[in-house]
Amino acid sequence: MKHLLEVKDLCKTYVIEKRQNNVLKNVSFTVEDGEMVGIMGPSGSGKSTLLYSVSGMDRATSGKVILDGKEITKLSERELASVRLNDMGFIFQQMFMMKNLTIMDNILLPAIECDKNNESKKEKIERCESLMRKLGIIEIAGNDINEVSGGQLQRACIARSLMNNPKVLFADEPTGALNRQSSSEVMDEICKLNKEGTTVLMVTHDAKVASRCSRVLYIADGNIQSEYKMPEGLNEKERERALKNWLMDQGW
């Protein structure tokens, strides 16, 4: 495997009322092509800030982020926006969608804006329908966003994140707003995508969700304190138990 994502000495500092708040302190790690990596840590440890800084949604104060050989921390705002649109997919806890568009039109939107695929509108619609079938939501294609369940809406967000065939999928608490059943269903879909080759970097506070990852990074006080590689051959409950034991050792 090759390093798809390299993070080197990443720092993020906020200045509030002339006081510096060093949220990220020289964070370094790599993510391999096709890997699914979870980020965990106590509240306020910098998990979401790390995800936003790595993905370019927020500018790092210093350090490097290299995606597939390209140092994205050097890019202009316009170049970075293009990378986010064309090479990255995003899933958030809050399922942001345009209220005046149907579910299908929301999913199509990134493809309409994309500048890397020389596709006709018909081809984009066919790809959108294929993704919706794959995720089990084709029957809600014409629905408004307030006419579907939370689990269906999050699966629609996953479909939207995949429309431009991203190199990496960033997920920030993707199951945080869902009940346990919907959470499990959404994670099943994310795991299927990962097994098919999609690289995933995910922030979560839920050990059950994180146990589905192949590796978990533990962040505390603004830096990666440790990492846990999930043992092979364990069932779902054993994976969760093993991860919780490790988290307790980290002071979780």
pLDDT digits (tens, 9 = 90+) for 57-101: 999 999 999 999 999 999 999 999 999 999 999 998 777 889 999
CATH number for position 49: 3.40.50.300
For residue 186, the model assigns a pLDDT of 86
For residue 117, the model assigns a pLDDT of 64
Query: In the Cβ-directed half-sphere of 243, how many Cα atoms lie within 13 Å?
Result: 29
**What's the rounded Cα separation, in Å, for the pair 10 and 92?**
22
Name the residue range of residue 146's domain: 3-249
For residue 153, the model assigns a pLDDT of 92
**What's the rounded Cα separation, in Å, for the pair 40 and 50?**
11
For residue 252, the model assigns a pLDDT of 84
Angle at 140 between CA 137 and CA 144, to 5 degrees: 130
> For the chain, how many structural domains are there in total?
1
For residue 219, the model assigns a pLDDT of 96
* CA dihedral over 80, 84, 85, 87, signed as positive or negative: positive
Q: Are 246 and 228 in contact (CB under 8 A)?
A: yes
For residue 163, the model assigns a pLDDT of 92
Low-confidence ranges of the chain (pLDDT < 70): 1, 115-117
Residues near 169 by Cβ (< 8 Å), separated by ≥ 6?
A: 88, 89, 90, 91, 161, 162, 190, 193, 198, 199, 200, 201
Task: Provide DSSP, 52-104.
Answer: HHHHTSS--SEEEEEETTEEGGGS-HHHHHHHHHHHEEEEESS----TTS-HH
Other Cβ atoms less than 10 A from the Cβ of 137: the count is: 24
